Structures are given as C-alpha cells and as structure tokens.
Structure 1
Amino acid sequence: MASIERTAYPRFKRCFTPKELIEIYTPTPAEIAFGLSTTQGQIHFLNLMVLLKAFQRLGYFPQVADIPKSLVNHIRNSLHLPSDISVGYEQSRTMYRHRAAIREYLKVTQFNQSARHLAVTTVYKSASVMDNPADLINVAIDELIHHRYELPGFNTLDRLVRRVRNLVNQKLFLLVISRLNQEYIERLDNLLKSHSVHLRSPYNDLKQLPNRPTRNHLNDLLTHLIWLDSFGEVKPYLESITSAKIQHFAAEAKALDAAELKDIGQPKRITLLLCLIYSAQVQARDNLVSMFLKRMRTIHNKAKEELEELRQKHLETTEKLVGVFTNVLQVFVDESTDTEVITQVQNVFTPAGGVEQLLHECEAVNAYSGNNYLPLIWKFYKSHRSAFFRLINALKFAATSQDETLIKALDFLLLNAHRRGEWLPATVDLSFASAQWQRLVFGRVESPKKMIRRHFEVCVFSYLAVELRSGDICVLSSADYADYREQLLSWSECQPLVSQYCQNLGFSDTASGFVEQLKSWLIDTAASVDAGYPDNRTVVINELGEPVLKRPKSSEVSPSVKALSAVIAERMPERNLIDILKNVDYWTNFTRHFGPLSGSDPKLERATERYLLTTFAYGCNLGPTQAARHMRGIVTPRELSFVNRRHVSAEKLNAALIDVINRYNVLSLPKLWGDGTSAAADGTKYDLYEQNLLSEYHIRYGGYGGIAYHHVADSYVALFSHFIPCGTWEAVYIIDGLLKNQSDIQPSKIHADTQGQSTPVFALSYLLGIKLMPRIRNWQDLIFYRPDKETVYQHIDSLFKDSIDWAKIATHWHDLLRVVLSIQTGKISSSILLRKLGNYSRKNRLYQAFQELGRVVRTVFLLQYISDMQLRQQITAVTNKVEAYHGFAKWFFFGGEGVIANNDPTEQEKIIKYNDLIANAVVFHNTVDLTEVLRQLQREGYLLMRSDVAALSPYLTSQIKRFGDYLIDLDVVPQVLDEEMVLTF
C-alpha cells in the first residue's frame, strides 16, 4: 500500500492557526443562506455547514468523528450557535441527504463508474512514464478534481493505482523477456549466483564504482566496459520503456542485493537486471571519458611543469649567453681593426666553451622559449598510449557539427596504431589544430608531405579532449557526453511557446526586435553612467583609463544590536540535534518523503524514529557504526545502513528540504532578513578519500575533496545543493540550482563570486529571466563592449575595448530560444549545456551566439556595478550569507574527522543533502526560538527596533549540544506553532 503521507490526498492538518480557520473555514453569507434553506433546526444546520466546509477543503466527505474539534468549534462560533450543540447524525439518511445537497450546491459529481473509468485511463497512461504509486495517485486526484468528481476513499485510489500499475508493469516485463532467448536469460540469472572462488556474485560487478583517474584505473575501467558490452546492445530490449522508468528500475535494482533480487519474479527480475546493465554501460562510458579528460589534463600540466623546470635550468645558461653577447657588443663598440675584432671575439667565445657549444646552448634556449610546452607532452603521454588507443576503440565518437576533420584524423590514427616509425604520410587534414601544433607535427620539412608520428598522436588526443569538453564531439550511447542537440526541442515544437514566453519576460518575439531591445538597453545604460560620472564619488578612472572603485566604509555593529544579541544568547533554550530534528519533523512532517523505492508504506517498526536517526547519523557524518554506538541499543548499524540504502534517495532528501523551506518561509521573522527575491551561490570543499573519480586535489584549499555548491536565499535558508569535483567551473551549476529549486522561495536574482560567472552564463541567465549579479574579483580585467565602433563617451570611453556583433545575435536568435525553451520544459539540464558552452569552440555557432549575448548582458551589469554603491553593498551582503552558511553547515559535520568516507558519487551527494537538511532544520528551529525570545522580551517591556532584529542571524550554535548519547522520544511533542509567529514593532 502506498503511504498517504507521500501523496497529495487531502487531509486535515494536525492543528489549525487562527488565520487558517478564519480564511478557509468561515462560512460565507451565501453558504449560510444555502444551509438555512436546506435544513431545519440548529443541529442539522451545524452538521450541514461542517460537512460543507470540510468537503470544500478535502474534496470528499470525512467521517464526522474525524473532523477536528477546533474546526467544529470555529464554525459553531461563526454561526453564533450555542456551545452545547454538537455535530453528529442520529439517522444516516439525513447525512446522505445533506451530502447530496452539498454536491448539488457545489456542482460536484459523486464518484461513480465514469469517474472510476477516468481515473483508470489516466493512471494507465501515466504508468507508462512514471512508476511511483504516490505520483500516480496524485495524477488521478488532479484529474478527478479537474472534472469535478468527488474523491473516493484513499484505499480505493490506492487499490486502483496498484492494480493498473501492476498491469502496465507486467505487460512491460513480459514484453521485455519475450525479446530474449533462453540462453541470454540464463546468463542474466547467473549474475546472481555466488562465485565459488570469490564468494561473491558477478551482480556486484554491475555496481562497480570508478577509482581515481590513473593509467591503471583507466585500464581497469576499460576492462569493465568491455565486460558490460559483452551483454550486447541492451537498449533495443528496453525499447518500450521510457527513460524515466529505466532510471527508476535501475535505481531499484541497485538498492537490492543478489539474494533480494532472486526473490522477485523472473520477468521483473530480468527487466531490472537489463535496466541496471544499460545504466551501468552508459555510466561506464561517461566515467571513461571523464577519466580520459582528467588524464589528458594531468599530462599537459606535467609538460608545463617540465617546461618550467627546464626554464630554471636554462636560466644560468641564458645569463651566460647574455654576458657573452654583451662582451661581443663591447668589442664592436671599441674602434679596432678587423683583425683585432676577430681576435677579441674569439677571446670572448673561448672561456665560454667555444662557438659550437654556445650555438648549441642558444638552440636549447630557443627551443623552450615562447611558452611552448607541446614538444614535452610525449614524455608523459607515451605510458598512456596503449590505454588511450583501447579507449578510442571501445567508444564511438561522432562530430556534432559539419566539421569532421578531427573524426577523420582519429580514424587515420586508428589505422596507423601499429606504426612505430618516426614518420607518417601527411594525408590527413590538420586544420583543426593550431599553427603551433602544425609546426610541431610537420617538423622542419619544407613541403609537409610527412608528419612526426609521436607529435601527431599527442595532437589528436589533445584536441579530442578539447572537443569532448566543448561538445563539438560526442560519445554515442553515453549521457554526459552525448550529442546535446538531440535533447533540444525542434523549432516546430518551440514556435507555439515563443510568443507567451517572450511576453512573460518582456522580450520581443522577433529577432530584430530582440536585438533592438538589447541595443537600446546597452546604449541607455552606458549613456546614463557616462552622464552620472562627474557626480559619482565612488569610481575614478585614472590616467591609464583604468577604473578604480572606492571602498565603502565598513559598517560596525551598533551597541543596541550587541546588547540585544547578548540578551538573546542568555535566553535561547539549550537543544540537542536529535530533538531539533524531531520537533521540525513534527511541524513539517518532512520524513513522509522517506520510504521504499516501490512507493509503498515502510514496513519498519517506528519508521519515523528510524528516519530521524538515519538523518542524524549521515548528516553529521558519523556513519551508521559510530552513531549506533551512542544510541544505547535503540538501533543497530545495519538498520541505519538499510534505511539509507533502501528508503532514502537524493530526490527524497530534496523533497524533505522543500517541506522545511516552505514552512520556514511562512514565519514572519525571516521576512526581516530577506524577501526571498535574491540568493547567493558559492562552493566549499569537503574532504574525500582519493580512491574515487570525483575526488581531486584543490590547490586553494589543499587536500583531496569535492565541492558542495550551495544556493542560499537572502533569508538565510539553503535552497539547493550540488556536490561537484574541485576542478569543475562552478558557474556551470549556478542556474541549475535555481531551476531545480521547487520550494516556495523562488529568487529572481542570483549572486556569486568570480567562479560563478562567464559570458555564456550571463546570456543564459538573461534568457531565463534571472538577474546574475556576481561579485567579481579583478573585474577591471574584463572587457567592456560598446554598442558600435562609432559610439564615443565623454567620461567613460576608455573603459570600452571592443564592440558588439549584433548580427551574430540576430542570426542565431532561433537557436538561443530553442535552448532556453528546452531548459524551461525540462528537456535538457542547464548544467549539461553550460559544460559545453563554458569551453571555447571555434566550430560551435551556438557557443559564439551565447558569448555575444553574454557580452551585452555582462557589460550592462559591469556598468551598473561601478556606478551603484548600493548594488555593490547588496551583492556583498548576500554573498556573505552563503559564506556564513558554509561554516554553519560544517559545524554539524563533525563525524569522521570531516572526511566523506564513501566513494560512491550518489552517496556523496546524499551526505551533503543530509547535512543541508540538518542545517536547515536548525535554522528553522533557531528562528522559532528567536521569535519566542523576542516576544518574551516585548512582553517584559524591552523596546525592539526593527533594524536591530534585522541584523540578527539564525546561524546560532552556542546553545546546541552535538555530543553525548543520542536519544529520541517521539512521545514528547513540541509546542504548536501559529502560522506566521508574527512580531510587532
């Protein structure tokens, strides 16, 4: 049975606030008139009005005994009826007559055979796309309400959904297994049998995680992919199953062990195995490409380091040669005869080693001048040669543009993989390579008829890495490195959406109109800044044309704020983390999202208790073993691990976070800290062990780890988070976090630091209606673009170094809209797209169009940034909040010496989200406690200033206990919160 807690099936709340009772459950004059005309007597009148208001809220008639007393009392008082009148029916026919009257009054049809058929049809269609029973129940509820049908009992809906879902899935399972021969089925079943030597089943190999990116691990991963590919092309067997259901089935299989999978019926078992194999094949290809890219980056970095070492070695040689040349010049300065000159020059050369030695040293210095490290790459590449050739044999590459020169060079490379000689015939087009590479590949041959084999290989693999990053080359049957164009909506699909989308954002729906708007925006902004420059005391353009911003005076904390903070610190009640989680769950019920992947009710004793203890164990990084040791035997490590593995996913954690955020957003105190229209994004490093693909060495922080990239609202609550490699450009995820944030707080402005900006990010943000306003270090180094070459400004002209190519934006206007509408409709992730657009591409016209649009948007922002002190202060204030959140969240991450011990990227992401859930729960609880303390101070006559309260922060930890025994008592319930917990000033 599906859990009613995880569905949208309407139910009464545990408690009602006065505001809710007044706004939702107070009968209107028309409703009162309907009640009086339908009933006789005060008891029947009250019964009818209670049923009416309950039905309006729920969409079905609850049992009279289940209607909360507070609701009945409110309706009775609103109708001015005596307090001794109670609800209840002595005769059932009276109740049925009242129900019929209410249906007729509200024009709602009783749940009947037509409604059942509608629900069955709707669920049948949806079950081919989604699999979670709770989601299917929600679809049925929406459709019944849309057609104004009364909702049936939850058990009726649950049975209907389970029956239809089972029917759809069984048809899919039988269809899949009918495509397989018996030999293949037996091979899949053999995966679940334990090996006699290794004492483990091959099924575990399907879940194999990639290790850190080394040459040996690259070979291991290649071997793993070859084994996975030995199962053949799996996708045709799953042709009738949508991608969403394949992912769901693969996740379900991954959460099970071999023994648990054996207990499932064969059709479903085989389908789950195939989905897991297909998912593993795709993931292995992505991991291979990622490892290849990291190895190529390492090889290039080592070559650069080698060049620097050579420069240091040749520094003395260079100084020696300069000294010799100086002495030679001095000879020519002196007026001597020719014979004397030759003798004196020879006297200069001899002590330095002679002419031939000096000539050799000059050639060596020239070879490593000009920052050319390319000749040195071979030394570090050659040990990887075999693995790289195996890789390009194992993967299938394709060009995403009409330029296939690199693909042809790759084919030529494969044909000549057996060659060991110095030269290769120059029969391949090297136009994809830079002039520097071409000079290296062709050597000093006057007519390029031959290529140096070693440098040609390095050149091709280097550019393969470049074009995989930029998306100019894709990998077939992969995910992260697939052809992103195939994920975009076609223009015919976009056309019906263009007009409304442009209208919503205030854009013109034609290319010429859109460009004209942009041009006017840039012209007007630049003219305004130029005109206001004489009166702007915060920016000065020096003699070199460089802008210099004056720092604002740092605002000190006022004595009244310090005094208020001290009083609050004394009065804040002491809490332990588990009690905080328990109380916040009581107020929000966030644990309702946790449960089996099947969507059924959890078959756990004390499920809520187990979920809260698991959240604590993983969110504080204690892990199940350490946490269980301090819980006095109320739970075992295996039970905590089981809940995390089988009942909690990243998606469920996101849903739990949304519940906490939404309830927090109703409180009045956070409104003083921020209105939710802006957020800041920033990353902080969490330590990892080295033995995984995500872990990288971070130069700035030191040590191996990954980046937790948080989006934090101006009201201090964290909205969304990603866990990404240290080497990733953080700007890739800045938009993704806002789009994936499904809470009630929807910022329209996003702030970040230097890592959170680039011209494509500015462009995409603008097209999505998001104002990107980062705090950029060394912003003076960025180029300002003028509207056209002829435009000249009186005061700020020296800022501009180039002009905008408006024709490029107009030409690719359709392409820009295809991208933004594809992201808006969920066809493609903005992070996938920005990973491609974040890398320079001479082939990708879409990249060039985004870059040009981004130049316009960023120039406007930079002009506003230098001319508006208040804007700079706002950006600093919000970005300071996300930086403060990093320290606050890590304060709760005290277990395991702060190192994430799990090497599974999925589990790493979950641990960060567990930590966010704890941090947000504490923010919520601190805000509740702060409100109570402030109310108490007001009752005692303490004069509260709005500005002083606005200067407070919910990031308080001094009153929180982290250590000791971790006990939980769900029978002790916290205070009942009123809806907004309003403060008056």
Structure 2
Amino acid sequence: DKLLGSMMRRAENRTKDKAIGTIRSLQAQLRLLTGSCRTLLDARARGVDSLAAISSIDWERLGTAVVDAELLIAPETIDRTAELIERQRSLRSVIGPFLNAFQFRGAGAVQGLLDAVRLVADIYRTGRRRLPDKPPLRFVPPSWRPFVLRNGVVVRAAYELCVLTQLRDRLRAGDIWVAESRQYRAFDSYLLPSATFDAMRARGPLPLAIDTDFENFIAGRRASLDTAIERVTILARQGELPQVRLDGNGLVISPLKAITPSDAADMRRVAYDRLPRVKITDLLLEVDSWTGFSECFTHRRSCRVADDRNALLTVILADGINLGLTRMAETCQGATLRQLAHLHDWHISEAAYGEALGRLIDVHRTVPLSALWGDGTTSSSDGQLFHAGGRGAAIGDINARNGNEPGVSFYTHVSDQYDPFASRVIAATAGEAPYVLDGLLYHATGLSIEEHYTDTGGASDHVFGLMPFFGYRFAPRLRDLKDRRLHLLPGQEAGPLLAGMTGDPVAIGHVAAHWDELLRLTTSVRSGTTTASAMLRRLSAYPRQNGLALALREVGRIERSIFMLDWLRDLDLRRRTQAGLNKGEARNALARALFFNQLGELRDRRFENQTYRASGLNLLVAAIILWNTRYLEQAVGALSIPEDVARHIAPLGWEHISLTGDYRWNVESRPDPGQLRPLRTPSSLLAA
C-alpha cells in the first residue's frame, strides 16, 4: 500500500513537471506555427495562390515543429498512469515474493482479478518472460485499458501494475482477503455470526438506540423531516432565520458573532498570574496523590503496582514529552536506562493508559469549576499532524492536505469540559471520518456523550448514518453546506424556497432490502465484535455500489438532511459546534507545547511505540487540565470572578509550568493530603 502510494505520488509530481515543460515547448512550436499560418492567411488575402510564392516560410523548420508538436500532444507524455508504468521496473524485485507469499481469497465478483494475481505470481515463480496470449482482462478498468492493450497486444508492465493497484483497492474494501490474516479478513467475518445475531434479535431487544422496526424508523424520520422543512420554511418567509438568508437568490449563512465578554482575556491573565509556579514533575506527583492514576500501570504478569513510583512516572513523562527513554535516563537523576526500559516493557500498556486517563477525567468532572464549561454530554474530535523525522521518516505516509513531509496524526476526542477522553494514532493519509465513532464508543471514562462535533474532515454520510443507531447526535461544521443537497423520502415536498437545495430522493426500497444487514452491522459494533472504524474503512473503500454501503449512505443522507435544516434554524446549535471545535483546537495547542522534544517529530518506527507516545501525551494533557482546574477554582474564588466570565477561562494554560530542565521528583515538596499549594499573591507577583 505504501509502496504503491509513494510511486503514485512520484508519478504525479513527474507528470506535473512534464506538463509544465510541455507547455513551454509548445509555446515555442506554436509561435512558429502561428507565424507560418499568419503568412499563409496574408498571402491568400493578397490573392497569392501558389505556396512557392511564399518565400518567407522556412518549410524545414515548419515540418520539424509539426512533428515535435505531435509528440508533445500525445496523451502518454503527460498522463500519470503512463508515468507510473515507466516506474514499474522498480517493483519487479518485490512483485513475485509478495504475490507468492500470501493466499488471496475473494467472492465471485473478483475471480477475474484473483486469476490475474495467480497468473502474475506464477510468471515470477517460474521465470517466464511473456504473458499468455489470453490473460484475464475483465477486471481491467476503462481508464487502464488503453495502456494494458496496445494494438490488441497485452503490455506486461502495464498489466502487472494494473493487477497490483486493483489488488490494493480490493484488499482495502474487503472484497479480497488473505488466508490466516487478522487485518485483511473477509468482510462478513468481522460481524456477529448470522445465527448469533438471529438469536439476539429473537430474544430482543437489540442493544441499539433506535426503533429496529424498519417501518417505524422511517415513519419517525419522515416526521422529523416534515417538521424541519415546515419550521425552516416559515422562518425563511418571515426573514427570521438567525443569521441566515434563504430566498430566491440562494442561501447565505453569516459568520458567527463573538459573544465572549470583553474582560474575559484580562481576567484569564489575572487568574493565571495567581497560580503557583510548578515543575512538570511536581505537577504529576500532586495529581497522582489526588487520583492514584499510577496504580493503573500494573505488572503484565503479576498485576502488582510498580515498586518505584517515581521511575514509573519518569517513563510516562518520557512518552508524553517525546523525549524517549535513552535521553530521559541521561536527564533524570536516579533512573537508569535499564530500569526505565524494564518498567516500560512490563508496566506500560494501552489498556493501562486508558484506565489512568479515565481516573483523571472522572476526578476532574467532580471539580465544581468544570461544570461551568459544560455538563459532559457534548464533545468534539479532530486530528493533529506530527511529522515523522529522522530515521522514522520512512514509516510516515504522505499527507497531501498537510504538505509533502511524512507523518502520522493523533486523533483526539475532547469533552465540553476540556477532557481529552480518547486518542489514537492514524495514518496521515487516512480520512478522519471512520474514527469518529471509535472514541465515542470505546473510552474508559464515565462520560455520557449525547452530541458530537467535527469539522468537514470528520463528516461523511456513513458516519451520519451510524450515529443514531448508538444514540448520538452528529453536528459537524460543514464547510460547503450551501452546496450540499437535501435528500427527502419519496412523496415528500421541500417547497419552493428549498427546491433549489433538493437532490435525489432517498432509495428507501434499497434501505429496506438491507435493513437486517444494517442491524447486524451496528449490533456487531455495539457488542464489540468489530470496531466502527474497521467497518467504515471497508465500506467507504468500495468503488462499486456495494449494497450495504449504499444502504448506510442512504440512511446517512436522511440524517444529514435533518441536520442541515436544524443548522439553518438553530443558532445555538451552530454556537455549540463552534465552541466545541474551539476547545479541541485549544487542547491541540497545549499538546504541541508538551510534545517538544525531537523537534516535535515522531522518530519511532513501531506503531505500538507511536501509540504509547500519543497516549502518554494525552495523559499529560489531562493531568495539566486537572491541576489547572483545581487551582483556577481557588484563583477565581479569590478574585471574585463572575461565572459568566469564568466559563471563558480555559484550563489549558502552561506558562506557569516548567517543562524543561532536569526532571527531579521532589516528593518532600508535595502538599499535604487535602491541601493545595498557596496561590501567588499580588505582592509576590510584583517582586517577581
């Protein structure tokens, strides 16, 4: 996958360079051609009939220019596929070993491709140089046929590369799977067995948040659509859609106006000035005394807590600030590399990080100040790119959206109380939408999320379709909302004002035909048989109209249409979405400040270690948020800051925290149980 992706990027860049060179060369040829044609036109206008009389034309140069122009305009000279085929020779050393190492399986629809895979594998295994006269060709897409077939002859380089690209796409989608593989399994094997699902349904009810009867479900969505259309139409006619204009000229949504109190920034600065100055090590010790989160990192075999609590916190800190164990052992007195490595191997795990994070968040939710920021029922999620530098650069995927440097993304869910309750590492090239539900479904905290926000990158019709099955309201900030279509149920009318926004009706018959499959899919996700991201990645990878993927898309179109109408009439929904996303972006700024070692780059080759870095960083962020919240509560009370201003003071500041230097664990300086450090007084601020 990465090898083909890298080749395609290089071919794309080479094609762009060739296109620029072609344009420059064509300009030179066109100047000669247009000059010659102008001479011919002038001669005809003067009545000169004989070409021999036109002595100013250099016929030799003209003939050369025509030949050069014909070569330049040939499609193969500036086509990415042609450029890709030219690079096929660099794959010859790996094609044979790769195809012969695995047993590829698939359903009937991909048998032609599987036959081609076996044919190419056999050619490399036996050392033959030519393809048979009639190789399998039904799998070749139309865009590849002009390159694979030249004058009725199959071109081997193009054929092999077409096989590899199609195999990659089918592996992604799940049409083709690999025998004995856990990641590339058959799509059906991810779901609950049919017999188990039927038994669960008969015993009832299914663990889903919707009415599982199809007719009742559709009747409810029809009623919601009718109500939303009626409300938007009435408000639009009265000109009362909040900050929205909807008329015959189209849809215009005005930007949100800030409602932050004018003195919030000043109060934030004053409140943070009162917070004690603290080292990151002292902060972790204090938070650990409140929560006991270090007890979650038990020995993998004996389940005992670590004997040296300070050394364990050193390992966690090394992950969180991206320093690594080797440099941490050099920086932290009293800890050897061997000791830190032993603790990391036997006490650090993803499950332990999740449990420790849950402890921090559950304690944070009990602090009265956190209730000013939200009630813990809404959340947002966003990805944060970290470049892959040094020796680890080769493992990173290229992200066209974030630039040409390789890297990975930490995808994090943040509650309305600023708690980062879930985080995972995803490829930089991966779409964010498949991972939105994972954080909501699989976190180890007491949060009960009801409404979730993302930006455009986290939204897709498939995500819209799955959300109601689990009881979540999905409210993304869609960049191109006015260009998206409303999809109504058959027989519904949008009215003249909304007619221009209406697209194709929902294929309700198709949804009905695949309703049982949708219930089996969502029940499998809810019961933990598979993950939402695994299913969404495979469903979104189908290039054809796969039945289940299409049915889920149609359900998503219904939900998105209801959401779009609610977005137009509900100003508070827009404000909540914007506020939620702002909290996630502010959390990312703190994470970037903490993850400062190694130039903020990931230099680890192993995905497991990258995951530990992401989890350690998230745990560190949660610890700082909890510490800040407790002390901000004291500062807000001491300064008598009103609640309507205090809710705009986020617990994400780090100016008062020393993040660098020698990492010493001064247990003696930790406050007594039940006590906090004294706030800084105005006199001490003046002296400082």
TM-score (norm. length: structure 1):
0.63
* Structure 1 residues 133-148: aligned runs within 5 Å: none
Distance 2:345 2:420 in 1: 24
1:466-481 equivalent positions in 2, closer than 5 A: 466-481=169-184
Larger Rg: 1
Q: C-alpha separation between the residues in 2 aligned to 1:823 and 1:414?
A: 36
Gaps of 5+ in 1: 1-292, 979-985
- Map of 2:682 onto structure 1: none
Partner of 1:273: none
List runs of 5+ in structure 2 lacking aligned partners.
676-688
Go from structure 1 to structure 2 and tell me whether the alpha carbon gap of 1:496 and 1:344 turns closer, same or farther (over 3 Å shift): farther
**Partner Cα distance (1:643, 1:792) in 2:** 63
Change in Cα spacing, 1:848 to 1:353, as seen in structure 2 (3 Å) is: same
Relative distance call for 1:714 and 1:343 in structure 2 (3 A) is farther
SS in 2 for 1:299: helix
- C-alpha spacing 1:902/1:653, structure 2 compared with 1 (3 Å): same
2:642 is aligned, of 916, 936, 945, to 945
Flag the 1:320–1:894 CA change in 2: closer, same or farther, 3 A.
Answer: closer
Alignment of 1:781-860 (within 5 A): 781-788=483-490, 791=493, 793-842=495-544, 844-860=546-562
Q: CA deviation at 1:599?
A: 3.3
* Match for residue 921 of structure 1 among 614, 623, 628: 623
Residue 351 of structure 1 deviates from its aligned partner by: 6.5
* Paired residues for 1:760-771 under 5 Å: 760-771=462-473
Q: Could you tell me whether the CA contact under 8 Å between 1:841 and 1:847 is conserved in 2?
A: no
Task: Give a deviation string over 1:108-167, Cα, whole Å, max 9, x none.
Answer: xxxxxxxxxxxxxxxxxxxxxxxxxxxxxxxxxxxxxxxxxxxxxxxxxxxxxxxxxxxx
Return closer, same or farther for 1:781/1:327 CA change in 2, 3 Å cut-off: farther
Give, in angstroms, the shift of residue 774 of structure 1: 1.6
Q: 2:76, 2:82 within 8 Å by CA — same for their partners in 1?
A: no
CA contact (8 A) 1:310 1:368 kept: no
**What is the DSSP-based 3-state SS (H/G/I as helix, E as strand, rest coil) of the residue aligned with 1:720?**
strand
Look up the match of 1:623: 324
SS at match of 1:340: coil
Q: CA 1:702/1:382 → structure 2, altered by over 3 Å: closer, same or farther?
A: closer
Q: Distance in 2 between matches of 1:309 and 1:563?
A: 52
Go from structure 1 to structure 2 and tell me whether the alpha carbon gap of 1:827 and 1:899 turns closer, same or farther (over 3 Å shift). same
Using the TM superposition, give the Cα deviation of residue 297 of structure 1 relative to its aligned residue in structure 2, in angstroms: 1.6
Partner of residue 641 from structure 1, selected from 328, 331, 341: 341
Q: 1:905 to 1:495 in 2, by over 3 A?
A: same
| Residue number in structure 2 paired with 1:435 | 142
Corresponding residue of 1:670: 370
Q: Does 1:968 align with 2:671?
A: no
Distance in 2 (CA, whole Å) between partners of 1:564 and 1:379 is 63
- Residue in 2 that maps onto 1:396: 103
Residue matched to 2:244: 539
Matched, 1:412 2:119: yes
Match of 2:93 in 1: 386
CA distance 1:319–1:346, shift in 2 (3 Å): farther
Distance 1:532 1:349 in 2: 73
Residues 1:319 and 1:527: Cα distance change in structure 2 (over 3 Å): farther
Give 1:614's aligned residue.
Answer: 315
- Tell me the CA shift for residue 702 of structure 1: 5.7
Q: CA deviation at 1:847?
A: 1.9
Write the letter of the residue equivalent to 1:387: V
* Counterpart for residue 653 of structure 2: 956
Identify the match of residue 84 of structure 2 among 377, 380, 390: 377
Q: For 2:147, give the aligned amino acid.
A: L
**8 Å Cα contact 1:304/1:373 also seen in 2:** yes
Q: 2: distance between equivalents of 1:643 and 1:489? A: 38
Contact 2:391 2:603 in 1 (8 A): no
Among residues 558, 566, 571, which one is paired with 2:262 in the alignment? 558
Q: 1:566 to 1:441 in 2, by over 3 A?
A: closer
Describe how 1:42-191 pairs up with structure 2 within 5 A. Answer: none
Residues of 1 paired with 2:209 and 2:286: CA distance? 44
**Paired letter, 1:637:** L
| In structure 1, C-alpha distance between the alignment counterparts of 2:397 and 2:276, rounded to whole Å | 41
Matched residue type, 1:669: L
Residues 503 and 630 (structure 1 numbering): CA distance in 2 closer, same or farther, change over 3 Å? closer
Distance 1:368 1:950 in 2: 61
CA–CA separation in structure 2 for the residues paired with 1:572 and 1:434: 64
Equivalent position amino acid for 1:517 in 2 = G
Partner of 2:4: 296
Secondary structure (helix, strand or coil) at the match of 1:353 reads helix
Q: Is the 8 A contact 1:572 1:959 kept in 2?
A: yes
Counterpart position of 1:361: 69
Q: 1:453 to 1:588 in 2, by over 3 A?
A: same
Give deviations 1:760-788, integer Å, cap 9, x for gaps.
22222232222222223334444443434
Residue 906 of structure 1: how far off its partner (Å): 0.9
Q: Secondary structure at the match of 1:507?
A: coil
Distance 1:786 1:890, change over 3 A: same
Q: State the TM-score, normalizing by the size of structure 2.
A: 0.89
Match of 1:340 in 2: 49
The alpha-carbon deviation at position 888 of structure 1 amounts to 0.9
Identity of aligned residues (%): 23
Distance 2:504 2:346 in 1: 57
**8 A contact 2:358–2:445 mirrored in 1:** yes
**Bigger relative contact order (CA 8 A; separation at least 6):** 2
Q: How many residues align?
A: 668
Of 851-860 and 748-757, deviating more is 851-860
Name the CA distance, whole Å, in 1 between partners of 2:481 and 2:156.
43
CA distance in 2, matches of 1:713, 1:933: 23
Moved more, 653-662 or 636-645: 636-645
Q: 2:611 aligns with which of 909, 912, 919?
A: 909
User: Where do 1:681-830 residues align within 5 Å?
Assistant: 681-689=381-389, 691-692=391-392, 694-699=395-400, 700=402, 703-788=405-490, 791=493, 793-830=495-532
Which AA in structure 1 matches 2:174? G
Measured in 2, the distance between the counterparts of 1:759 and 1:636 equals 52
Q: In the aligned structure 2, how far is the partner of 1:346 from the partner of 1:413?
A: 59
Contact 2:200 2:206 (8 Å CA) reproduced: no
The alpha-carbon deviation at position 701 of structure 1 amounts to 5.4
